[in-house]
Structure 1
Amino acid sequence: MFILNTNRDYRRPLEPADAETLGIAAAAGVERHLKYRDNNTETRLVSLPALAAEAGVAAIHIKDEGHRLGLGSFKALGGAYAVVCLVLEEAGALLGRAVDMAEFQSPAVRNVAETMTFTCATDGNHGRSVAQGASLVGARAAIFVHAGVSNERVAAIARFGAEMIRVDGSYDDSVKMAASVAEERQWTVVSDTSWPGYERIPGLVMQGYTVLVREALRQMQLPPTHVFIQSGVGGIAAAVAGHLAIVLGEDRPIFTVVDPARAACLFETARAGHPVTVPHTEPTVMAMLECYEPSLVAWRILSRVADAFMTVDEEDAVSVMKRLAYPAGGDRAIVAGESGGVGLAGLLKAVADPAIKAALSIDDRSRIFLVNTEGATDPRKYQDIVGVSPDVVDGEMAGKE
C-alpha cells in the first residue's frame, strides 16, 4: 500500500519545540555526549553501486547501525543518551550548578544516579539502550518486555543488570504496564513513544538519533534526493526526516515512511489524518517495528515533513535480509536484522511499481539514503532466516576492506 501525504499540516514548519529538539545545535550536543562514551566510532555509510544500477538510480547509501556502541542498533543512540541527560539534570538540581557530560561518571553524579530507577517497554533494542545508560551512571533499570520478545533479546538486556519484567500481550500492553508501575513506584519512564502529557523524554530519545544523520551528511559527497526509513512508533523516521528538513530546508529529500503491513500504525494514521491504533493481527517478522499505536510527537513531525507512507510485506523483509547478506555485483555485504533492511524493502517495491516510482519522482539521477537500523540482535533467528550466521557475513565484509 502507498499514499502521498495529503494532511493539512504537510509542508508546514515544525513546531518550535520540535525544531529545537531535532536541530543542528542539538545534534552537535549529542556528538559531544558521544565523545565521552566507550566504543564510540562513526558507523559506516555503505555504498551499493550494483544494487543502484539494478534499481535504476544513481546511488544507494545505507547507514549501517548494526555495530553502534556495541549494542547492535541505532537505538543505542537514544535511550542511553536520554538516561544520562536526565541524571545530569537531576544532579545539577541537587548540586545547585550545571553538571557537564564530562562529569557523568563522577562520584557526585553516581551518588545521585543510585537513587534513580529508569524503566521502559521494549521489543528489545530500546530496552538494551536504556539498561546500558543506567549501568553507565550507576542507576537501576527495570525493563518491561511483551510475550513476543525472544529469550535471546531478553538476555542481551539483562546483561546490563536490568530487572526484566515479562508482560502478557503486545508491545502496547507493555508500554501501558511500564507507565502504570512507574507511576506507582516513582520510577522514571524513558520511552521511545509519546502520549498526551509525556513528550519531553521521547524527544530526548529522538534527539539522540539525529547524530546518525549528521554523520551521514558528512560522509556523502552529495546530499540524498530520496530517503526511505522504516517506522515502528515513528521515532527514527521523525528524527531523520525532521533533522534533514532543518539542515537542508527546501532542498530536503523526498521522504517515505515504511511500515510493516501487519503493524502499519503510521500508514493508517497518515491515511486517517490523525493518530489511530491499528488492530493486532498476526505477528510480523519485523519484530522491532511491531507497534500498533504511533508516537504523538513523531506523528506531529512526520505529518509536516514526510512526503509519502507505504507498507511492505513479510516476504519483503526476509528478502532484503538475504539480499544484503549475499549482495550481487561486488557490493559490500551488510548484516541486517529482521527490521534493519525494511527501508530498502520499501525502495525496491517503489522502483518496481511505475505509479509509485513516478509519484516519488525517482529516476536515474536519484540518490537514495537508507538506514540499516539493526544488525543481528537475535543471532539465532538471523541464521534461521538467512541460512548463515552473522559472523560469516561479517567475515565477508572484513574480507573486502
Structure 2
Amino acid sequence: MANRLPCPDIHISTLRQKGQPYPVALQRIVGHGLAGEAVERITEWDGYRPTPVLDFAGLAERCGVQEILCKYEGDRFEIGSFKALGGAYALQRALEAHEGPLNDLVAVTASDGNHGLSLAWGAKQAGVRCIVFLHAGVSQNRQELIEAQGAEVVRVDGNYDLSTATADKMARENGWLLVPDTANNENPNPINVMAGYGVMLEEMFGAKPQCDMPTHVFIQGGCGGLAAAVVGWLRERDNSTDAPKFIIVEPVEAACLIASARAGSPVLIGGDLDTIMSGLSVGEVSGVAWPVIAFGTDAYMSIPDTMAIWTMQGVREGAFGDAPVEIGDSGIAGLAGLVAVSRDEERRARIGLTSQSRVLVIATEGPVDRISYDALCSRDLSDAGLPDFADFGAVSV
C-alpha cells in the first residue's frame, strides 16, 4: 500500500475473553444499569442534548474501510468535552450521598485538564468549593479555563501520577471529597465517572440509536476510564465472536495500557510522559477500569505525536474529503490510530480490518484549549516523514 504511515507498536491481547458472558462483577464497575442511572440524571441537566455522529465517508475511502463514524463531543455542554459527563455526574452522586451541609464541603481531584474542568463546572452548579491539582505539563490556558469556573488550582511539580498522589494525600489529610477519574479500588466516584461516559453509548445504541453496531472501535487510552466505559457497555450488549473488535490507542510516550497488556497486569511506566495528547499523559491504568479493559479489548497500539497532529490538521482542513471539523489533541487519538494502521497490510490483517469494516471512533473533545490547538494545527510537519494530504488518496485493499 502506498503512503505507509508510522505505526510503531501494536499488541494483540492474550487476555481477551471472547464468547464469554460479561461478568456480573464487571457490571458493578461498568454496565447498562449504571449507565442507565446516569442517563436518568444527565438528560435532566440544563443544556443537555445528544451530541452528533459524523460520517467521515471521504476518510473511509482513504483508509480502505466501508465506513468511519465519529461521535463528536466538541459540543458537549459548555465544556466541549465528553468529560462533562464524568466528573460533574460523579460529584452529583457524591452530593446525593453526603450527610450534612454543603457549605463546608470541598471537592478535589487531579487532572490533565478536562476532568478537572468538568468537576469545577459541576461544583459551580452545586455551589461547592473545588480544588484541582494540575501537573507541570498542563497548559496555562487549561488552568485558566478551570479557574473561570470558580475552582482553585494547585500546581504539582511533576507528572500526572504525582498530581494524583498529591490530590489523594491532601484529601485524606483535610477531609475533602476526592472525585478522581482513576482509582485502584472500587471507589464509587471513578465508577460514577465511567457511568456518566455511558451516556454516549446510550445515545449511540440505546432506545433511539444514532448508528448501527460497528465492526471495530478505536478508542483513546489514558487512565482507561473512557476505554472501560465503552468496552464494558458494548461487551454487555454483545460479547460473541462476531462482536466489535476494540483497539485502544495511546501516545508512544505514555503507553501504560499496552505495557500492562503485555505484562498481564497493570504496570507503572516511568518517564515524564510528555505528549501533545495531553489528556492521555498517564503512566498507570486505573485499577478499577483494568479488569473491564482486559476482559474486552482485542488490541492495543501506540502512535507518535506527529501522527496525531497530522490527523488533527487534516480533519480541520477538510483534507480527507469530508467537511472540516475541529478535534482536540486527546480527542484525535482513536481516529489517528485508525489512519496510521490503514496503510499497513500486516497490521490490518492482525486486527481484521478490511474493505467491509465499519469503524467507530469518539472525538472526545473539540478545541478546548484553543491556544494549544491552534499552535498544533499550525505546526510544520515537513520533516516528519508524513505524506502530503493531496497524496493521501483512496487506498485499494
TM superposition score normalised by structure 1: 0.88
**Residue number among 171, 178, 191 corresponding to 1:182 in the alignment:** 171
Cα gap change, 1:282 to 1:26, in 2 (>3 Å): closer
Aligned to 1:85: 93
**AA in 2 matched with 1:57:** V
SS at match of 1:315: helix
Aligned to 1:59: 67
> Does the aligned pair in 1 maintain the 2:18–2:239 contact within 8 Å?
no
Percent of residue pairs identical: 37
Number of positions where the alignment pairs a residue of Structure 1 with one of Structure 2: 368
* Structure 2 counterparts to residues 199-348 of structure 1, below 5 A: 199-217=187-205, 218-250=208-240, 251-281=242-272, 283-328=274-319, 330-348=321-339
**Residue 25, structure 1, aligned to residue 27, structure 2:** no
Whole-angstrom distance in 1 between the partners of 2:257 and 2:291: 11
- Give the Å deviation of 1:281: 4.3
**AA in 2 matched with 1:228:** F
**Residue number among 345, 348, 354 corresponding to 1:357 in the alignment:** 348
> Does the aligned pair in 1 maintain the 2:16–2:296 contact within 8 Å?
no
**Residue number among 38, 46, 65 corresponding to 2:46 in the alignment:** 38
Cα gap change, 1:280 to 1:12, in 2 (>3 Å): farther
Whole-angstrom distance in 2 between the partners of 1:242 and 1:181: 32
Q: String of CA shifts for 1:225-284, please: whole Å, max 9, x gaps.
A: 100001101110110011011123324310001110000000100011111011114611
> Does the aligned pair in 1 maintain the 2:160–2:281 contact within 8 Å?
yes
Whole-angstrom distance in 2 between the partners of 1:328 and 1:314: 19
- Give the Å deviation of 1:11: 6.2
Q: String of CA shifts for 1:68-111, please: whole Å, max 9, x gaps.
A: 111121111100000001101225xx6xxxxxxxxxxxxxxxxx
SS at match of 1:249: coil
> Does the aligned pair in 1 maintain the 2:219–2:334 contact within 8 Å?
yes
Whole-angstrom distance in 1 between the partners of 2:186 and 2:167: 13
- Give the Å deviation of 1:293: 0.8
Whole-angstrom distance in 1 between the partners of 2:71 and 2:50: 10
- Give the Å deviation of 1:140: 1.2
**Residue number among 335, 358, 383 corresponding to 1:367 in the alignment:** 358
Aligned to 1:104: none
> Does the aligned pair in 2 maintain the 1:46–1:332 contact within 8 Å?
no
Cα gap change, 1:181 to 1:346, in 2 (>3 Å): same
Q: String of CA shifts for 1:135-178, please: whole Å, max 9, x gaps.
A: 11111111101111111100111112111111100010100000
Whole-angstrom distance in 1 between the partners of 2:311 and 2:209: 24
SS at match of 1:70: coil
Whole-angstrom distance in 1 between the partners of 2:48 and 2:203: 13
* Structure 2 counterparts to residues 144-163 of structure 1, below 5 A: 144-163=133-152
Which stretch has the larger CA shift, 246-255 or 78-87? 246-255
Whole-angstrom distance in 1 between the partners of 2:33 and 2:11: 33
- Give the Å deviation of 1:113: 2.5
> Does the aligned pair in 1 maintain the 2:74–2:366 contact within 8 Å?
yes
SS at match of 1:113: coil
Whole-angstrom distance in 2 between the partners of 1:373 and 1:41: 16
> Does the aligned pair in 1 maintain the 2:308–2:336 contact within 8 Å?
yes
SS at match of 1:154: helix
SS at match of 1:244: helix
Whole-angstrom distance in 2 between the partners of 1:330 and 1:323: 9
**AA in 2 matched with 1:350:** V
Q: String of CA shifts for 1:315-343, please: whole Å, max 9, x gaps.
A: 11101111110124641222111111110
Higher RCO by CA contacts (8 Å cutoff, separation 6 or greater): 2
> Does the aligned pair in 1 maintain the 2:113–2:279 contact within 8 Å?
yes
Whole-angstrom distance in 1 between the partners of 2:347 and 2:280: 23
> Does the aligned pair in 1 maintain the 2:21–2:239 contact within 8 Å?
no
Unmatched 5+ residue regions in structure 2? 1-8, 380-397
Q: String of CA shifts for 1:117-147, please: whole Å, max 9, x gaps.
A: 1110001000011111111111111110111
> Does the aligned pair in 2 maintain the 1:11–1:305 contact within 8 Å?
no
RMSD over equivalenced CA pairs, Å? 1.8
> Does the aligned pair in 2 maintain the 1:13–1:304 contact within 8 Å?
no
Whole-angstrom distance in 2 between the partners of 1:30 and 1:204: 8
SS at match of 1:280: coil
Whole-angstrom distance in 1 between the partners of 2:375 and 2:16: 44
Whole-angstrom distance in 2 between the partners of 1:32 and 1:198: 22
Identify the structure with the greater helix proportion.
Answer: 1
Cα gap change, 1:299 to 1:12, in 2 (>3 Å): farther
> Does the aligned pair in 1 maintain the 2:108–2:179 contact within 8 Å?
yes
TM superposition score normalised by structure 2: 0.89
- Give the Å deviation of 1:15: 4.5
